[in-house]
Amino acid sequence: MIGAGKKTRSSELSSYNVAIVGASGAVGGELVKILAERDFPVGKLKCLATSRSQGKEIGFRGRVYQVEETRRDSFRGVDIALFAGGAASLEFASAAVELGAVVIDNSSHFRLDPRVPLVVPEVNPEDAAWNEGIIANPNCSTIIMVMALAPVHRAAGIKRVVVSTYQAVSGAGAEGLSELRNQAEAFLAGRQYPSRVFPYQIAFNLIPHIDVFQEQGYTREEWKMVLETRKIMHEPDMRISATTVRVPVFRSHSESINVETFAKLDVAAAHKVLAEFPGVVVTDDPAVKSYPMPLDASDRDEVFVGRVREDPTVDCGLNLWVVADQLRKGAATNAVQIAELVVRGNHFPSRR
C-alpha cells in the first residue's frame, strides 16, 4: 500500500536517516559508495539484507556497519529507504512507507503503477514532487536511453525510436560476472563450464534474449524500455521498438539508437543539444577514432554519446551510440539523485 505514514520530524533537518535494503549486493554496494561520494547528508545509516547476509560488515565514512536482517519494523526512524531491487521491495516497501520513509525502489514492481513517479532527475525531476511514499527508479537501459533522447526530443520532437542494446553481464548481478569469468577461463583451457545464470554460454557469445518472452515475441526487458520511456517522457504514444542483447562485457551497457524526429536536427545541432544536457558527454570524432566504449564508461556517472550520424533513409533521422555504467547512472547514482531531489524539495508525504 502506498501511504503517507505518520512521521512528524521537522523538514529543516540537516541530515537524514537512510536505510539501504540489499546493502550486501552489487547495487547496494554502489549505493553505499555513491552516498559517500556525493556527500549525501546521512545522519544514521542502516544496512539491511536477507538473513544470509546478516552480520556482514560494510564501511561508510570511516565507520563499519553490520548488515541487519530486513524486517517490517526495520524502517522505524528512517527518512529515506533505498531498495536495491528484488523481492524485498514487494515485501517491505509498504512497511517503510507506513513508518514515514520515502522509498526509492530499484525493482520493477512499481515502475508502471500510475500512482508512483518514475524518475530520471535530469529528465523529469518535477515528478518526484507528487510521490505518495514510493518513487521508482527506472530500468538501467531505459535510464541510459532517455538521457540521450530527452535533449533530442526537446529540440526536434521524437516521432519514432528503434534501439538495440548491448548489455553487460553485471546487469545480472555478481553471479553473471562470475559466470562470464569462469566460462572464458574454461573455454580457453578447452573445458566446459555450465550455464546457470544465462540460457546459453555467454563467453565469446551474444544472447539476443534478456528476461522472459512476452507478447508479440518481445521480452520483458524490451517492453520495459518502451513503456518506461513513455512514462518518464510523458509521451504515451511515442513509437519505440527495442531489441535487448546480452554481451560478454563485464560492466557498462551500450545502445545503438535510431531516432526519427519531426524537425530536422543535423549532426552539429545534435552535438550541441546533447553536450548541453546535464549528465551527457559527447565523445564523437571519427578522425581520431573517438567514440564511447564500455571500458571508458565504467565507474563513471556520465552518459556518453558518439557516432552521431544523420540517417539518410528518412527526412529527419539520427543514429546515436550511447554508453553508460548501468550499476551507477543506470541504478545506484540515479537512485541517490532522486533522494537528493526529495531532500531539496522536501518531498516527504509524511510532512505535508
Q: What is the pLDDT of residue 1?
A: 33
Handedness of CA 216, 222, 226, 232 (dihedral sign): positive
- The closest of 343, 347, 319, 329 to 120, measured between CA atoms, is 329
What is the model's pLDDT at position 70?
Answer: 96
**Dist CA 151 CA 41 (whole Å):** 30
Q: What is the pLDDT of residue 352?
A: 73
If one counts every other C-beta atom within 10 angstroms of the C-beta of residue 242, the result is: 23
Residue type, 48: L
DSSP structure class, residue 152: H
Per-residue pLDDT of the chain (352 residues; tens, 9 = 90+): 333 333 333 334 479 999 999 999 889 999 999 999 999 999 999 999 999 989 899 999 999 999 999 999 999 999 999 999 889 999 999 999 999 999 999 999 999 999 999 999 999 999 999 999 999 999 999 999 999 999 999 999 999 999 999 999 999 988 999 999 999 999 999 999 999 999 999 999 999 999 999 999 999 999 999 999 999 999 999 999 999 999 999 999 999 999 999 999 999 999 999 999 999 999 999 999 999 999 999 999 999 999 999 999 999 999 999 999 999 999 999 999 999 999 999 999 988 7
Q: Which domains does the chain carry?
A: 16-138+331-351 (3.40.50.720), 142-326 (3.30.360.10)
What are the angstrom distances between the C-alpha of 2 and each of 76, 125, 251? 17, 20, 34
Q: How far apart are CA 93 and CA 77, in angstroms?
A: 15
Q: How far is C-alpha 254 from the chain's CA centre?
A: 13
The catalytic residues are 140, 253
DSSP percent split of the chain into helix, strand, coil, nearest 5: 35, 25, 40
Q: What is the pTM of this model?
A: 0.93
